[in-house]
Amino acid sequence: MSFSIAKMAKDARKASFSVANLSTAQKDAALSAMAAKLVERTDLILEENERDLVAGKENGLTDAMIDRLRLTPERIQDLANALTEVTQLPDPVGAIADMKARPNGMQVGKMRIPLGVIAMIYESRPNVTAEAAALCLKSGNAVVLRGGKEALYSNLVIAKCLHEALVEQNIDPNAICVVPDTDRAVMNELMTLSDDIDLIIPRGGEGLIRFVTENSRIPVIQHFKGVCHLYVDAGADIQMGLDLLLNGKTQRTGVCNSLETLLVNQEIAEQFLPLAAKAMAEKGVKIHACERSIGYFENAEAATTEDWDAEYLALEIAVKVVDDFDASIEHLEQYSSGHTEVICTKDYARANEFVRRVNSAVVMVNASSRFSDGGQLGLGAEIGISTSKLHAYGPMGLESLTTQKFVVMGNGQIRS
């Protein structure tokens, strides 16, 4: 019998009604059981992972890709630990906020409830399978996981372990579904199943996210790219500006919260840019500089319009001198990717104005853009980052996997 994604989504929908009503204790017990099962089944998981590794090598995956794919006893233990950590996160489900009395005596409030069924489409490491399953379960959602072809055997064996744990805990195993058929047609059908899937979270390259956004009938959390800016204001602490630049650009590259553009107020350019040039040169950072800043750098390339939109994900940065504070805001209005922007300033009014006027998901004063992630901001584990404003904006923790319904407690009120 051939695989039916429509049936899988229906089964997940059915399971979603029961997982929505599990108590926090039941969910935490299940998460602990899932963690224990992964460790217990280490040998089996390594065996299946080996099949993916062999196929990956045959198909010419790079060493870096093979490494991302590889599971080891240590990595499996880390994964189990990650699931155990989810038990420590507060359960958002069931909280009632803002309960207020209406003039007719009805009490009206809002109760937090799971979204229902969440589909994850991802390309990357098999641990996403277990981590996403854990976060969806803790927030009372069922999940449909569609990982990449290269990790299929690993994903399926992880699902098998998680199912064993769920069944032992008397939880419908369809709460966690791994799509066993990575054919594109199956993914395309998945994106049409709006009756049974409430949200799609794609994780991967911009191509994947655009493809899902443009083809899905189901709401999609969009995270296109992070073109994070640091604006060094007139009168800023020079050393702090350098620290934020260096940390933002070089502490880790290849991540969405690293800096991609440096904006410098013209009043401080002459003081700041020579030191910035030195710091960047020491780290081997390639510079794309505007006309007014290029003279400060050795071997800088002239920045083109594309550079203001570029997410280098590498030791490269665009640099622009701006006339004044307002010009930095205007640059951001035009080029912000909606991810993270930082101001380095000593000025109270401009700090407040930057926070108020810049409408990216994360706006920071005097802190490194590298803190822009769910863990660092205190959300616990992160299921994704949204750079569009609908439903969630910025790093998404458990609460982003829920919504609020209205609850009305009356004693016979009717409308006249």
Binding of a copy of itself by 251 (CB under 8 A): yes
Classify residue 53 by its DSSP letter. H
Q: CB of residue 257 vs a copy of itself: minimum separation in angstroms?
A: 9
User: Which of 361, 381, 383, 396 touches a copy of itself (CB under 8 A)?
Assistant: 361
Candidate ranges 66-74, 82-90, 245-253, 266-274; the one touching a copy of itself (CB under 8 A): 245-253
Provide the residue type at 248 as one letter. G
Copy the structure tokens of residue 315: 């030791």
Q: CB of residue 129 vs a copy of itself: minimum separation in angstroms?
A: 24
Residue 416: partners with Cβ closer than 8 Å, 6 or more residues away: none
Provide the residue type at 22 as one letter. L
Binding of a copy of itself by 362 (CB under 8 A): yes
Q: CB of residue 42 vs a copy of itself: minimum separation in angstroms?
A: 32
User: Which of 360, 381, 387, 396 touches a copy of itself (CB under 8 A)?
Assistant: 360
User: Which of 219, 234, 267, 309 touches a copy of itself (CB under 8 A)?
Assistant: 219
Q: CB of residue 378 vs a copy of itself: minimum separation in angstroms?
A: 6
User: Which of 150, 335, 393, 397 touches a copy of itself (CB under 8 A)?
Assistant: 393
DSSP of 76-113? HHHHHHHHHHHHHSPP-TT-EEEEEE-TTS-EEEEEEE
Query: Residue 268: how many CB atoms within 10 A of its CB?
Result: 18
Binding of a copy of itself by 188 (CB under 8 A): no
Candidate ranges 70-78, 121-129, 226-234, 244-252; the one touching a copy of itself (CB under 8 A): 244-252
Backbone angles phi, psi at 301, to 5 degrees: -95, 150
- Asked if 294 contacts 237 with a C-beta cutoff of 8 angstroms, the reply is no
Binding of a copy of itself by 237 (CB under 8 A): yes
What is residue 339's three-state secondary structure? coil
Q: How far apart are CA 95 and CA 56, in angstroms?
A: 46
Provide the residue type at 160 as one letter. K
Q: How far apart are CA 149 and CA 128, in angstroms?
A: 14
Binding of a copy of itself by 275 (CB under 8 A): no
Binding site for a copy of itself (CB under 8 A): 17, 20-21, 94, 100, 102, 106, 108, 111, 113-116, 198-199, 213-214, 217, 219, 237, 240, 243-244, 246-247, 251, 333, 351, 355-357, 359-368, 370-372, 376-378, 388-391, 393-395, 403-416
